[in-house]
Amino acid sequence: MYTANNGSSYLGEWYNDLQHGIGKETWPDKSYFEGEYKEGTKDGKGIYVYADGSIYDGEWVNNQIEGIGTYTWPDKKVYTGQWINNNMHG
């Protein structure tokens, strides 16, 4: 496990000193991302649980929510569909 000075931690696969493959990154506020990394960025399928209880489960490209995914807010409202540059699209 790698722990950074800011209190975040990463447990998972590495390649050339970068997060690469399957891993889990956790932050001090208890939010976390678990999924695929490519050359140090979230890229592929993954789930992000935010500190407020919101959850995004879907596709990522270069650290951006991009592709098909489902976002669930703490009040249980749900959006499933297309995302572009971290924004709902469609």
Q: Token match 């490519």: residue?
A: 38
Residues 31-40: pLDDT tens digits? 999 999 999 9
CA separation for the pair 32, 85 (Å, rounded): 20
Total number of residues shown for the chain:
90
pTM of the shown model: 0.93
Contact yes or no for 69/59 (Cβ under 8 A): yes
Grade residue 62 by pLDDT with cuts at 50, 70 and 90. very high
The structure tokens listed for 60 are 């990522």
3-class SS of residue 59: strand
Domain ranges of the chain: 2-88
CATH number for the domain running over 2-88:
2.20.110.10
Cα angle 35, 31, 23 (rounded to 5 degrees) comes to: 25
